[in-house]
Amino acid sequence: MPAAPAIATPAIRAENVCRHYRMGETLIRAVDGVSLEVRSGEFVALLGASGSGKSSVLNLLAGLDRPTAGSVVVQGRDLARLSREELAHYRLHTVGMVFQSFNLIPSMTVAENVELPLRFAEVNRAERDGMTGAALARVGLQSRVNHRPSELSGGEQQRVALARALINRPQLLLADEPTGNLDSRTGTEIMNMVREFNLQLGMTVVMVTHERALAERYAERLIHLADGKLVRNEGNVPAAADPLSTASEGSRA
């Protein structure tokens, strides 16, 4: 192994990662010895049945959770060695997250939700306004800045979440079933945007899904989990070879 030089430095390398929960006498192995590598700029899908540990793996990559064993190294940094404060900094600047349930703050307007990470990053107001405008333009929501999330459709809410995820220009986009709550047409719109970020902004994407079809359409690699273990790791040629020109045009209409 040391003889083989890496073609590209991996963006993510997880080695024998475990996340065990102790519930009284029983030990729940949510993640049980997963090793995986994700190249910089790669689009990877995490597949598996419900309860197989997909979200748990994603949270470990996001630095929201710490593994009970093993290591997660993202861009040369071992997350296990980072302090709580450093982990927050990592989440703020390196990672963008999107969730199935959008996770927007209901009391804030669209613009306020999008600019929230900039407040944590202590970006001053004038700069913030410009960046928020640009991010919302990228997801085609310039006209809804002052609306509350509850006034938007599911697809629109997920677009707000996408704008928020990319506002701090992270290298890593972690998406947990981003289309799970959307109909297939809206889901496709969202997926096309994710793919656009992947190709145009060079963001590394790790997406959790249990829809094999969706994964095969967009991801370059499919990683299958079962009972917290990695069971299959297969390469894939995305079906949507160049969906950008058509699909993303449509999503902005």
Ligand X SMILES: Nc1ncnc2c1ncn2[C@@H]1O[C@H](COP(=O)(O)OP(=O)(O)OP(=O)(O)O)[C@@H](O)[C@H]1O
Positions that interact with ligand X (CB under 6 A): 21, 23, 28, 30, 48, 50-56, 210
Chain residues that interact with another protein, rule: CB under 8 A: 59, 62, 64-65, 84-85, 88-89, 91-93, 95, 97, 99, 101, 103-105, 107-108, 116-117, 119-122, 125, 164-165, 168
What SS3 string covers 138-184?
HCCCHHHCCCCHHHCCHHHHHHHHHHHHHCCCCCEEEEECCCCCCCH
Q: Is residue 55 part of the contact set for Mg ion (CB under 5 A)? A: yes
Picked from Mg ion, ligand X, another protein, none, the partner binding residue 120 (CB below 5 to 8 A depending on kind) is: another protein
- What does 30 bind: Mg ion, another protein, ligand X, none (CB cut-off 5 to 8 Å by kind)? ligand X
Beta-strand pair 95-99/43-48: unpaired
CB of 31 to another protein, least distance (A): 12
Which amino acid is located at 190 in the chain? I
Taking every pair of Cα atoms in the chain, the longest distance, rounded to a whole number of angstroms, is 57
Closest CB 103 distance from another protein, rounded Å? 5
Phi, psi of 151 (to 5 degrees): -90, 0
Lookup result for tokens 């697809």: 155
Shortest distance in whole angstroms from residue 249 CB to ligand X:
32
CB of 230 to ligand X, least distance (A): 13
Among residues 7 and 23, whose Cβ is nearest to ligand X?
23
Asked if 118 and 131 touch (Cβ cutoff 8 Å), the reply is yes
Residue 250 Cβ vs another protein, minimum distance, rounded to whole Å = 28
| Neighbouring-strand partners of residue 15 | 71
Instruction: Report the partner that residue 93 touches, choosing among another protein, Mg ion, ligand X, none (CB closer than 5 to 8 A by kind).
Output: another protein
- Pair of tokens at residue 220: 């370059």
